[in-house]
Amino acid sequence: MLCNHLESEMLNLSELTAMLLRVPAAALQVCRIAGEAARRRDIDILTLEHACNMLGTQRLGTIIKELPVLEAEHTPYAYRQLLSISEHALSQAQGLFAHRMARLWHEVSLASLLFLAPCWVLVYQRPEVFAEWDARHLDQKTNGNGFSHWLLDSDRVLGLAQQLAEDWWLPPWILQGYRSLGSSRRTMVRALHIARDSQHPRDQQAALDADRSLYRWLTLPANSLLMANGLALGAHHDWDARHTRRWQQLTALYLGQQVAEVQTASHANAVESARSLYRHYGNSVWLPAEALIWPCGSRQNEGRGPERLSAASPDGINNAQPLVGAALWRKNCLSLVAQPPNFTSLAAIVDTALQAVTQGLGSDKCWIALYNARKHQLTVYAAAGFAADRDPVGVQLGECRGNAWGRWLQSSTSHDLSIPGRHPNKELVPPQLARLTGDGASSLFPLLHKGQIIGLLGSQSGTAPAPLDEKHRKALIKTAECLSRALVGFMQKP
């Protein structure tokens, strides 16, 4: 949908940014890449509109098209749940502060959504951290996996999140929020003490008037994102818990409203958020609005929280059956294009691609050749599905740059050698390649970088020549693209 909107002649930036806010990972990536340019110019990215304008339509389209597309069920539960908390925080910010700070609505929205973004990365890589945190707040037995002490050290957690936010050049409001939780913690505690006396608004105002530094801190627009995220995190566990009420009291003090008014508004915002998120996540995440119908003071945790992870592997995928078919292919392709790269060796990259083609897409045989610039040779680096006495690893397929064969390879993203008219004359095909492919159904997929061939992916299925169906062809082309990106990233690794 994002790509279609970018290609539309009726391109509307406001509509595009609204769509991006509904795809948190895309919003983060756009802001991170725009932040790199903003850092060099020593300016801040405050809104998504600013980030999009800085990148330009063409660059923005490239970024969005390169984002990996993954089915929700193939991502860790903890990651999905944390994203839903950030989206709930966005709904709280828009519902509570949009009218009060209409001129800053875009700043409030982006900062509220991305405030927990540094934690998204941590939880995606280590879902058990979220499970430990969730269990601790739900008064359940923790797993004792060594994270307890780490989670209790709030300075370390906040420091890590703030450092990531600085490295990514996220909006300065987010950095201000982390500073408030860290170096300005005593100021926040003073504000919470005043907010607690919600039955005496005149006394509250008198206390603020007597402490002008506290009043200046409290009225900072950046504090709105703290309150929105505090309410969303509190609601995730219990609407009636002490920490949730503290955020409600602080928000009421900030807005100059009664606590009951803030509670009513936050409940309504949670319901609107749940309606929107359910269309995307379904029952796969916990939506706090469900608990609003429960009796006051009750917490029902069945079917959510750490229990969702107990039957899952560390990456959030059910252990009952290993991934096969399309699910395995998607997982491996996403591993190839993951940022930052996860691979420490060339062999690991190639093995991941081979598995995607053979076990994921069902090809009988697959081989990957890489170009050796010193020897001017395209050499088979790895293969799968071949008998031991016919293993093609090490076979040199010849020069593929600056000749007719190389130009033919570059002319298309795929070449089916089993279809008449789709392959060049016999004398154009290197004899080593002809022997490797034989008379069966085989296809070639060039690996390209900056107009040069860096490798070749070969797939063979069955013995009778038959064209690939279009869906299978597109999947193999996508695999080759992902493999190319992984190889280039590995070669450019410092």
Per-residue pLDDT tens digits for 314-325: 333 333 344 557
Instruction: Please count the CA atoms within 13 angstroms of the CA of 387 that sit on its side-chain side.
Output: 2
| Sheet-wide strand order for 452-461 | 377-384, 365-372, 452-461, 441-449, 415-416
Q: Residue 197 gets which letter from DSSP?
A: -
* Lowest mean pLDDT across 137-146, 260-269, 276-285, 372-381: 137-146
pLDDT at 311: 36
163-175 tens-digit pLDDT: 999 999 999 999 9
486 or 468: which carries more pLDDT confidence? 486
- What is the structure's pLDDT at 467? 59
The pLDDT of residue 143 is 55
Measure the CA dihedral 311/315/318/323, to 10°: -160
94 closest CA partner among 287, 282, 232, 290 = 232
Query: What ranges make up the beta strands (E) of 49-98?
Result: none
Whether 303 shows a pLDDT value over 50: the answer reads: no
More confident position, 449 or 114: 114
Q: CB within 8 A of 206, min separation 6: which ones?
A: none
Q: What's the Cα-to-Cα distance from 473 to each of 355, 436, 452, 478, 479, rounded to whole Å?
A: 16, 20, 22, 9, 10
pLDDT above 60 (res 229): yes
Confidence of residue 206 (pLDDT cuts 50, 70, 90): very high
The rounded radius of gyration (Å) of the Cα atoms in the chain is 27
Rounded Cα distance, 37 and 41, in Å: 7
pLDDT exceeds 60 at position 306: no
The rounded distance, in Å, linking the Cα atoms of 68 and 195 is 44
31-49: pLDDT as tens digits: 999 999 999 999 999 999 9
Residues 6+ apart with CB under 8 A from 478: 333
Across 433-462, average pLDDT: 83
Q: Region 76-105: what's the mean pLDDT?
A: 92
**DSSP code for 367:** E
Topology (CATH) of 325-491: Beta-Lactamase (3.30.450)
Q: What is the pLDDT of residue 260?
A: 92
Name the least confident of 103-112, 355-364, 424-433: 424-433
Confidence tier at 149 by pLDDT (50, 70, 90): low
Average pLDDT of span 434-448: 81
Give the separation between CA 23 and CA 414, rounded to whole angstroms: 32
Distance CA 192, CA 79 (A): 30
Cα angle 265, 266, 272 (rounded to 5 degrees) comes to 90
pLDDT band with cut points at 50, 70 and 90 for residue 425: low
What per-residue confidence (pLDDT) applies to 466? 56
**Is the per-residue pLDDT at 288 higher than 80?**
yes
- Domain ranges across the chain: 70-310, 325-491
Task: State the pairing for strand pair 415-416/441-449.
Answer: antiparallel
Cβ neighbors of 424 (< 8 A, separation 6 or more) are: 404, 405, 408
Question: pLDDT tens-digit profile of 334-373?
Answer: 888 876 677 777 888 888 899 888 888 888 888 899 988 7
Chain CA centroid to CA 20, Å = 13
